Homo-oligomer: A and B are copies of this chain.
Amino acid sequence: MTGRPARRSGDSDDREAILEAARGAFAEHGYDAASIRGIAGAAGVDTTVVHHYFGTKHRLFLAAANVPIDPREVLASVVDGDRAEMGQRLVRAFLTAWDGPAGSAGVALLRSATGNRLAGKLFREFVVTQILGKVQSSLGLGLDPADARLRVSLVASQMVGLAMVRYVLRVEPLASAPPDLLIATFGPVVQHYLTGDLSPDD
């Protein structure tokens, strides 16, 4: 290795510099406060270069956080349909994504989010800004924001735990269980977290 080659505008160095600046900005300031302008400035490129490579702030965030699937596309199929079966649809969509080609990227994402502070903050921003808003507007019906936030973090706890046990730690029988068994088992619990009565029994 003879050191990093000089930067050339428009090449993959720009792309990497933008991603690095984006990771810092999203982790430091959060998704909403981070700006394409600020990220472009930190990366030493024009904002048009950012848009050229990544299109929108949303897509730049997914790339920066190494999220292999756009949750908006997955969530669309989850929130459409019978509200009482949203939990099952969510588990099904989750397993389809993780059992598919994006699964190994998902494992890598969980590994880095667990082992690396910056990646962990990005993951948290991802859950809160990309999933919470969508779920909240879908559950809608006057749900107060604090309640929505609690429900989303409960669902996140079960989904992250399922991913950890099935794909990362590979604890049996969950590691090899057929998706239908998991949908039948976790679906009602996720549904409970989404729409059930969470107040204590007594």
Contacts and interface: CB of A to CB of B under 8 A. Distances in A.
Given A111-B114, A185-B198, A149 B164 contact: no
Contacts of A149: 172-173
Interface residues of A, number: 42
A170 B157 CA distance: 11
Q: Is the interface of A mostly helix, strand, loop or mixed?
A: helix
Q: Could you say how many copies of this chain the assembly holds?
A: 2
A134 to B, nearest CB: 16
Interface string A153-173: 110111111101110111111
Interface centre among A154, A173, A174, A192 (most CB of B within 10 A): A154
A188 interface: yes
Contact of A161 (B150, B164, B170, B199): B164
A159 to B, nearest CB: 7
A168 B111 contact: no
A139 interface: no
A171 B111 contact: no
Interface centre among A111, A124, A169, A192 (most CB of B within 10 A): A169
A56 to B, nearest CB: 24
Interface of A: 110-111, 113-115, 120, 123-124, 127-128, 146, 149-150, 153-154, 156-162, 164-166, 168-174, 177, 184-185, 188-189, 192, 198-201
Given A123-B169, A158-B189, 8 more contacts: A111-B114, A114-B114, A114-B115, A114-B168, A150-B177, A153-B171, A164-B164, A184-B199
